[in-house]
Amino acid sequence: MVFALVVALSFGPALLYASIVYWLDRFEKEPLHLLVGAFLWGAIVATIGAIIATSVLEISLKMITGDAALAEITGTTLFAPLVEESLKGAAVLLIVLIFPHEFDSVLDGIVYAAITALGFAATENVLYLYFQGYASDGASGLAVLFVLRVLLGGWGHAVYTSFIGIGLAVARLQRGWMIKVIAPVLGWCVAVSLHALHNGMATILGSSLGLGGLLATLLVDWTGWAVAFSLVLWAIFRERRWMRTYLREEVDLGVISAEQYRTACSVRAQLSARARGRVARRFYTACAELAQKKHQLITLGEERGNTARVMALRDGLASQSALV
């Protein structure tokens, strides 16, 4: 009974946070099957892999040094960030390699990375809340860890891994082999560094300074979250700029109407338009995808059949326009 409660307290908020991420992807929604797959990768593959790999590294270091305390703190502050960000990032890398046509903007990278990380956080929180919370200190221990990990620190993993998504998106959408190598590596380094900073502060300051250490850790965490949220807003308005630029031609060609153009380019108008049903949602998602593919055609050229995709999307919009 308690374990079921812990699962609900861990996965319920994670799914709520994931729905917020999905909502923030305002214009071109990512396929639900890929998002579900990313969440499950984080919740199952990345979590199990991280437990095994981090344990092996800790045991190896303990055998080499003979120092259990050193192995434990190194595992928390170094091994865990390295292993966990690599395994979470692997899901985003697989998506960009297998489904590159679904990776159309920096926001897409953030969305896939955050959803994967929230799946990881959900399972990790189950283990912490039950074994370190309830099993150690009963209901009070469970409540304390729920507040600290799920409420106050619920966006941590999503923010760390989002930088891997940004790096992979930049690599996907830019020319030149150098940027395709540097951007993912840099994104991974930022993710690992932020994760290691949090773990280090929580471990060292939390034990030495108590409440002051906790507040300092939260302040650093929330500053990182604010930066990440600013990047999300920038990516949303960047996509809207693409819509305004590339869909204007579709009005001139008679593919969409002037009113549909104004709706497609407005976050507020799309909210009410998409509420009208599946046809409207598919239509305005296709509008966004057309704008993104036209941008890719200009910046990347005939990469992965961009012209054919643009023409197919245009034909689809023309046939749907009268139904919206």
Position 258 confidence tier, pLDDT thresholds 50, 70, 90: very high
Read off the pLDDT of each residue in 279-305 and give the average, rounded to a whole number. Answer: 87
In whole numbers, what is the pLDDT of the chain averaged over residues? 91
178 close to 197: Cβ distance less than 8 angstroms: no
- Which pLDDT score, from 0 to 100, does residue 133 have? 86
pLDDT above 90 for 162:
yes
Q: How far apart are CA 159 and CA 119, in angstroms?
A: 13
Q: Tokens 């990990």 correspond to what residue?
A: 149
Position 266 confidence tier, pLDDT thresholds 50, 70, 90: confident
Q: Tell whether 123 and 255 lie within a shared domain.
A: no
Q: Tell whether 154 and 298 lie within a shared domain.
A: no
Higher pLDDT, 206 or 106: 106
Residue of 185, 189, 178, 169 lying closest to 239 (CA atoms): 169
- Which pLDDT score, from 0 to 100, does residue 137 have? 82
Q: How far apart are CA 9 and CA 168, in angstroms?
A: 32
What HEC string does 158-209 produce?
HHHHHHHHHHHHHHHHCCCHHHHHHHHHHHHHHHHHHHHHHHHHHHHHHHHH
Give per-residue pLDDT as tens, 224-241. Answer: 899 999 999 999 989 999
Q: Tell whether 171 and 308 lie within a shared domain.
A: no
Read off the pLDDT of each residue in 144-154 and give the average, rounded to a whole number. Answer: 92
User: Which residues 6+ apart lie within 8 Å of 234 measured at CB?
Assistant: none
Work out whether the CA dihedral 283, 94, 298, 240 comes out positive or negative.
positive
- Please report how many Cα atoms fall inside a 13 Å half-sphere around the Cα of residue 21, on the Cβ side: 30
| Domain that residue 212 falls in | 2-238
Q: Tell whether 188 and 301 lie within a shared domain.
A: no
Burial of 64 (C-beta count, 10 Å sphere; 0-12/13-18/19+): exposed
Q: How far apart are CA 80 and CA 4, in angstroms?
A: 26
Structure tokens at 16: 């709520």
Domain end among 238, 261, 281: 238
pLDDT above 80 for 324:
no
Residue of 309, 268, 267 lying closest to 290 (CA atoms): 309
Number of structural domains, the chain?
Answer: 2
Domain end among 219, 238, 257: 238
88 close to 42: Cβ distance less than 8 angstroms: yes
Q: Which of 44-48, 138-142, 166-170 bottoms out in mean pLDDT, i.e. has the lowest? A: 138-142
Q: Tell whether 183 and 272 lie within a shared domain.
A: no
Domain end among 176, 205, 238: 238
317 close to 250: Cβ distance less than 8 angstroms: yes
Q: Tell whether 15 and 70 lie within a shared domain.
A: yes
168 close to 92: Cβ distance less than 8 angstroms: yes
